[in-house]
């Protein structure tokens, strides 16, 4: 069974825009490059032709991946989310118990993760470790550097 992908309306819009770009801008350009390279003659030694064909396969695979993802999307309305515990789309303020450093993250699906924007995947070690926790709980999370303890300070909606 395929895994459900939870997205915000914003995340869904981005995926659809990327798919539209690949299908209606990128693929026609690649098809044009293949035709131009084909017109130059011997295809066995035509680097432009082979590069364009490889790009066509890459873009086609990406299109199929996006279409598969879109078929499994479920949109969550963040107004309906419970803020008593950490869930997908929760914004969580945490404190590293060891060094006192505070961070705020929003837990999102893998496709919407953007660490620079403070969005971490629920599939990441920290995301998994925070899920289900409540304010005041200590989450012990295995990271590459060892086990880190985070205290949940606040849970809000995005």
- pTM attached to this predicted model: 0.67
Q: Is the pLDDT of residue 25 over 90?
A: yes
Locate 39 and state its tokens. Answer: 């017109």
**What are the pLDDT digits (tens) for 83-106?**
789 988 889 999 999 899 999 999
Q: Are residues 107 and 91 in the same domain?
A: yes
Q: Are residues 29 and 89 in the same domain?
A: no
- Whole-number mean pLDDT of the chain? 88
Q: Are residues 71 and 91 in the same domain?
A: no
Q: Are residues 44 and 95 in the same domain?
A: no
The whole domain housing 33 covers 5-75
At residue 78 the predicted structure's pLDDT band, cuts being 50, 70 and 90, is low
Q: Are residues 69 and 96 in the same domain?
A: no
- 27-38 and 47-71 helices, crossing angle to 10°: 160
At residue 158 the predicted structure's pLDDT band, cuts being 50, 70 and 90, is low
Cβ 102 vs Cβ 150: under 8 Å: no
**What are the pLDDT digits (tens) for 43-60?**
777 888 889 999 999 999
Tokens 């809000």 correspond to 156
Q: What's the total number of domains in the chain?
A: 2
In this structure, are strands 119-121 and 102-108 parallel, antiparallel, or unpaired? Answer: parallel
Mean pLDDT (whole number) for 106-135 = 91
Pick from 34, 56, 75: which residue ends a domain? 75
CATH number of the domain that residue 34 is part of: 1.10.287.180
User: How many beta carbons lie within 10 A of that of residue 110, not counting itself?
Assistant: 15
């Amino acid at each position: 069974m395929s895994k459900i992908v939870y997205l915000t309306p914003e995340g869904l819009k981005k995926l659809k825009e990327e798919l539209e770009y690949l299908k209606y801008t990128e693929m026609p350009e690649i098809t044009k490059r293949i035709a131009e390279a084909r017109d130059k003659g011997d295809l066995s030694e035509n680097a432009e032709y082979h590069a364009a064909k490889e790009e066509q396969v890459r873009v086609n695979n990406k299109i199929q991946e996006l279409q598969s993802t879109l078929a499994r999307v479920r949109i969550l309305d963040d107004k309906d989310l419970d803020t008593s515990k950490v869930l997908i789309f929760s914004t969580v303020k945490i404190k590293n118990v060891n060094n006192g450093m505070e961070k705020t993250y929003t837990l999102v699906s893998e496709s919407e993760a953007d660490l620079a924007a403070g969005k971490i995947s629920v599939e990441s070690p920290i995301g998994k470790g925070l899920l289900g926790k409540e304010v005041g709980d200590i989450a012990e999370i295995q990271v590459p550097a060892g086990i880190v303890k985070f205290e949940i300070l606040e849970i809000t909606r995005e």
